[in-house]
Amino acid sequence: MEDKRLSKALAAAGIASRRACEEIIFSGRVKVNGIVVRIPQTLVDWQRDQISVDEAVIGGEQKKLYFMLNKPPGYLCSNVRPGNKRIVLDLFSDQSERLFTVGRLDRDTTGLLIVTNDGHFANRLIHPSSNITKEYVVKVCQEITGEHLETLSQGARVDDKWVRPVFVQKVRRGTFKICVKEGKKHEVRIIAERAQLKISELTRIRIGNLILGSLPEGEYRPLTAREQESFLSQSDQPRPARQSCSKP
C-alpha cells in the first residue's frame, strides 16, 4: 500500500495533467470515499480508497499512451464538450483509454499536438520550466516586410508577461516561421496582431525535437520510445531536419 497525493494519483490515472487535476479537485468534482475533497495534497491509496471524478469511479493507474496528432481546424482542445462543438478527442474515438491533450492549440490552429493519458508527462511538458521550443508556420494576408519582421521579433505582451520569440524568419511572400518557448494562450496570434499582420493559417510543426513531418491532417500515430525519451532528456536543440528552424 502506498499513499500518494490526490492530484498525483489522478494524474497517474490519466485524468489530466497534475496542474489540471488540482483545478478539478479545487472545483469540488472529486470525491474520496464518497466525500468531496478540495485539497490536492490529501493522501490516498488506490487499494484503500474509492476515488471518483464527476461521480465516475476511477480504476487506478493505467497503461501510459502517447500520441502525436496532426490537428485539423475546427476542433477544440478541451476535455469537456461545450454544446455540440467538435473536440480533438473525437478523433480518438477508437481508443478506450481516457486521453487528454498536452497544452492547447486554438480551435483554428492546425498541426502538432501531443495526446496522452500520462499526467506527469503532460505536466512536465507544459510547465514553464520545461523551456521547450514550439515552432509554427504562419500564413498571413499581406506581403511580409522587414518592418513586420522587426516588430514580430520584438514580441508582445501576453497576459501578464512580455513574450519574445526565439526565432522569426520570412519563408516566402506571405509566410513566416516563428519559434516561441512560453506556451501562452493565443501568443502567436497576439504577436502577429501587434505587427499588424492578419493570420489566415497557423500550424505548429515542432515541439522540442518532435517534428510533425508528413502525418496527414486529422490522423494520429503513437510516439516512438525514442520520441518519448526525447522529452525526458529534453535539451531542446532543434534536430537538423527539413521542417526545423535554425537559430537566428
**Residues at the contact surface with ligand URA, assessed by CB under 6 A:** 105-106, 109, 186-189, 202
In whole angstroms, the minimum distance from the beta carbon of 180 to ligand URA comes to 7
Is 118 noted as a catalytic residue in this protein?
A: no
Nine-digit cell at 129? 520550466
The dihedral built from the CA positions of residue 78, 80, 81 and 86, taken in this order, carries a sign that is positive
Burial class (CB in 10 A: 0-12, 13-18, 19+), 197: buried
Q: Residues 49, 106, 108, 236: which is the catalytic one?
A: 106
Helix or strand (DSSP H, E) at 83: none
Q: Three-state SS for 143?
A: coil
Which long-range contacts (C-beta less than 8 Å, at least 24 apart) are formed by 240-247? 241/211, 243/135, 243/205, 243/206, 243/211, 243/212, 243/213, 244/135, 244/206, 244/211, 245/135, 245/167, 245/169, 245/177, 245/179, 245/206, 246/167, 247/166, 247/167
Shortest spacing between CB 188 and ligand URA, in angstroms: 3
Residue 14 vs 238, nearer CB to ligand URA: 238
Residue 77 Cβ vs ligand URA, minimum distance, rounded to whole Å: 8
Q: How far is the CB of 40 from ligand URA (least distance, A)?
A: 28
**Residue positions annotated with a catalytic role:** 106
